[in-house]
Structure 1
Amino acid sequence: MSIRGQIEQALTSIAQLTAESGAPWIVGGSAGLMLRGAALNSEPRDLDLYTDEADVARLHALLQPFSTDMPVLDETGIYRSRLSHYLIEGVPVELVGGFIVRAHDSCYETQVRSLLLPYAEHIKVGRGGSAPAATVSVVPLAHELWFNVLRDRPDRYELIIEAYCEDEARHKPALEQLESCNQLSAALKAEVRRWIAEQRVGQLI
């Protein structure tokens, strides 16, 4: 089975296990970009699920049969989260609660219920053969853009800006809301706007 097939299978299982929990989660990272159809340089090695810190315990209880550790506060470099790991359908899964990135005089927090879910992309997974299907939420491009800008990953944010500009009217509200709800440096916001403008002009040439 392909990497995408495995990840979709894992997501279908997770969606079924957590459907009645009332604890929302959302797909991010390279797996989320892959589900959007992004041309990644390499295939995802794992599956990142973001949730609010208040929802970690409920989700962990449902996923515990597949867990390889317990949720712990993890503060590594520029990152802070309540982190736990699982192996589901052969796919390594990270549950990341209350994720915060501090870099470049900025602080970005993944606010799942209030910010990411209202602007999420909804993608159907697990459509192969007789396997059940599920619809999962994937983080808005605005999240991936700022996450990768803050961690200095031009290989990712250049790809994301290209996708953003292909349908800017759809993605812009999420970007504006994300920027207004987080402490992002004025200089870096201006730089991101410049990159978007340059990409927009490039598409018109």
Structure 2
Amino acid sequence: MGPHETEDRTERFPELHAALLETAKAWCREPYTWLLGGSCGLLLQQVELQQAPRDIDIYADITAAKMLHKSAPGVGLDVPVVDRTGPYASLLSHYQVGNCALELVGGFEVWSRKSWYRTEIEHVLVKHAPEAMVGGYTVRLMPLAHELLFNLMRGRADRYEPIARQIRQRPELHQPLMVLLGQQNVWTSRFRAEVEELVGFDWPQ
């Protein structure tokens, strides 16, 4: 297993595995960039989870999300609409794929703890995305650097602590993107200090 590949750990969860296969089949041949995030993405990157993944979170830029909606797997429950819930903003749509819920999140932004983070899938995150095999399909995953920052912003210690442990095992894989995200977004000095303590390396401005 290479540094940017990871084994399929979803086979232990047959309903989830089937839904991921259907999603990959629907979207892997589309010319639009998307990344699998959330608990499924963490599972496929060997991050310890306190409970099994219950749904599928797909991230894309806004234009890509609009196009992916047209060929979405399963049953569409709504159409993409601008959603502002708490500190989050995105173009959001929902689907039922087999027995699993799927969220398609376009142009995701978070405002929290006096910090601001905007996801850029095509120009930033996909260049650092590890790959996983799901059945016969290659699926790209949201990088752990993103997952650490996002979960720290929303106070999910059950997520960011095991993510940080995983980053510490191979810091050289994650530090370049961490530095880039540190430069391209807005973070307080206190938040930066917390990140450095978690990952064990400097996070310069």
TM-score normalised by L of structure 2: 0.87
Which ranges in structure 1 are unaligned for 5 or more consecutive residues?
127-132, 199-205
CA contact (8 A) 2:168 2:199 kept: yes
Match of 1:62 among 52, 55, 71: 71
Matches within 5 A, 1:168-187: 168-187=171-190
| Structure with the higher helix share, 1 or 2 | 1
TM-superposed deviation, 1:39 = 1.8
Q: Does the C-alpha gap of structure 1 residues 37 and 194 become closer, same or farther in structure 2, counting only changes over 3 Å?
A: closer
Q: Deviations over 1:56-97 (max 9, x none)?
A: 221000017621111111101000011101111321100000
Q: Does the C-alpha gap of structure 1 residues 2 and 137 become closer, same or farther in structure 2, counting only changes over 3 Å?
A: closer
Structure with larger Rg: 1
Matches within 5 A, 1:29-178: 29-63=38-72, 66-126=75-135, 133-178=136-181
> Could you tell me how far apart the structure 2 residues matched to 1:154 and 1:65 are?
32
Secondary structure of the equivalent of 2:116? Answer: strand
Give 2:194's aligned residue.
191
Q: Deviations over 1:114-167 (max 9, x none)?
A: 1110000100012xxxxxx10100111100000001001111111111000000
Percent identity over the alignment is: 36
Query: What RMSD in Å do the two structures reach over aligned CA positions?
Result: 1.8
Q: Does the C-alpha gap of structure 1 residues 24 and 115 become closer, same or farther in structure 2, counting only changes over 3 Å?
A: same
Give 2:30's aligned residue.
21
CA contact (8 A) 1:11 1:136 kept: no
TM-superposed deviation, 1:2 = 6.2
Secondary structure of the equivalent of 1:59? Answer: helix
Q: Does the C-alpha gap of structure 1 residues 64 and 19 become closer, same or farther in structure 2, counting only changes over 3 Å?
A: closer
CA contact (8 A) 1:9 1:125 kept: no
Q: How many residues align?
A: 192
Which ranges in structure 2 are unaligned for 5 or more consecutive residues?
1-9
TM-score normalised by L of structure 1: 0.87
Q: Does the C-alpha gap of structure 1 residues 4 and 114 become closer, same or farther in structure 2, counting only changes over 3 Å?
A: farther
Give 1:130's aligned residue.
none
> Could you tell me how far apart the structure 1 residues matched to 2:162 and 2:32 are?
31
Give 1:129's aligned residue.
none
Secondary structure of the equivalent of 1:114? Answer: coil
CA contact (8 A) 2:116 2:185 kept: yes
